[in-house]
Structure 1
Amino acid sequence: MFIIIVNKINENTPRWLDEGIACYEAKDNNENWIIKTVKNGLANDIVPTFKDLDTGDDFETFFKYDGYQYSYTIVESIIKLFGYDKLCNLIKEPNSFVDVF
């Protein structure tokens, strides 16, 4: 449902932003799993880039990059640091990080 709402705002939203919002709002993932994955990625210097996570319809690659965990973490950070208004602005202009933040 969240992806439908996001796509009403901008149908060209990157996969990581779509999935990150959906996962964050649904709260259907185990937070310990997310934290463990991100800590492991940081410790082993294998954190995916935004480009890595923008896989379009290729969910297999998104999953391979631990996309759900990282996308959740990115969206959670945006909301906690900047608020929902900035998240909404990012949905409208997902390639305008500097202008949005």
Structure 2
Amino acid sequence: MINEKLKKAEDLGEQGKVDEAQKALEEAEALKKVVIRKKHIEEEEEELLILIWTMIHMKEKELEEYMHLLILFAFILHVRIHTEEEEEEEEEEEDHHIHILSLMSYR
């Protein structure tokens, strides 16, 4: 689907339909971000399941120590997700500025 959007953007660009090409390109980039984010979430879910499985098979003292690690992991995950969201917002803002500049130079 991403490749289809990129091809569509290329075709529209060749036809001189700059705005439509830009929209198709933005849609392709958005799809890429979704795929990447989904992959990260799946990897983090797998890590969390491993942690939980390990906790189930531990003794009480070991479990207490492991809980501290789990809390730390959850905090790091939370920070990472919010950091990625902020980076995405910054990239979108930068892309918007680039798009405006390209439209200004196009005219």
TM-score (norm 1): 0.26
Q: Please identify the structure whose Cα radius of gyration is greater.
A: 2
TM-score of the aligned structures, taking structure 2 as reference length: 0.25
- Structure number with greater CO (CA < 8 Å, separation at least 6) is 1
